Amino acid sequence: MVQKTHSTAPATQPPVETGSCEAPRSALSMFGTETHMGATIFYDQNSEIYGENEPADYVYKVLSGTVRTYKVLNDGRRQVGAFYLPGDVFGLEIGDEHTFSAEAITDSSILVVKRSTIIAQASRDNSVARELWAATARELRRTQDHLLLLIKNAQERVAAFLLEMADRSHSAGAIELPMSRQDIADYLGLTIETVSRTLTHFETAAAIELPRSRRIVLRNRSALHKLNA
């Protein structure tokens, strides 16, 4: 089992690897489930994992919790780039700096691996190189889908978001949203008022139930799906 550091990592500060970092068997394992390299770090809710333009020396994998990446535009608006759930890899760059900032949305445990280690492995092991490429390609695909969302209307965006979260959290009954309405709004390019109104509209239309503001039950998936491309 992965050893657990219980030092809430200070924001921005590069993670300190803890003792139990075993001999790296394969950097590929970074992306697998039975990994044995890197360090596990705990981040408190809303703490920064890294900032935009900081050196991209590490690659991250969510073990538990949820992470958002985002950019703040010069006029103060924030655009959320993605939400990362357990199992998701984030922060992998080919350049030397992170292009987005990353924060823990909830208390999170994150597996942190040195990028240089992975890249060194990739130069020896084809399958690792391929995995690096694949990770970036997945990110590209996700970004393309996100881009297509932003040209749709509010109902379509919110519906797509709910279906995406339902898929990814693969929990049978209700979706438990870790993020705030503001996070959702900034992801969808809407205001929090519009997100809220759209959700109540879906509830009125019996497409969803909202037992609590962060718990959503999809009642009529196909109705939500019909709103999409």
Partner DNA sequence: CGACCATTTGATATGGATCAAGCGATGTGG
Partner DNA sequence: CCACATCGCTTGATCCATATCAAATGGTCG
Order of strands, edge to edge, in the sheet holding 58-64? 39-43, 108-114, 58-64, 89-90
Q: Looking at 23-31, 42-50, 69-77, 202-210, which segment touches a second copy (CB under 8 A)?
A: 69-77
Two tokens, residue 153: 């209307």
Order of strands, edge to edge, in the sheet holding 101-104? 48-50, 101-104, 67-72, 78-84
Calpha distance 123→101 (Å, rounded): 28
Can you tell me which of 84, 181, 186, 218 binds DNA, judged by CB under 7 A?
Answer: 181
Identify what 222 binds: a second copy, DNA, none; CB under 5 to 8 Å per kind: none
41 vs 132 by CB, closer to a second copy? 132
Calpha distance 179→214 (Å, rounded): 8
CA Rg value for the chain: 19
Calpha distance 181→201 (Å, rounded): 15
Q: Looking at 6-14, 47-55, 66-74, 211-219, which segment touches a second copy (CB under 8 A)?
A: 66-74
Judged by the rule CB under 8 A, the positions of this chain that interact with a second copy are 71, 73-75, 77, 79, 81, 93-95, 99-100, 122-123, 126, 129-130, 132-134, 136-137, 139-141, 143-144, 146-148, 150-152, 189, 228-229
Judged by the rule CB under 7 A, the positions of this chain that interact with DNA are 153-155, 180-182, 189-197, 199-200, 210, 212-214
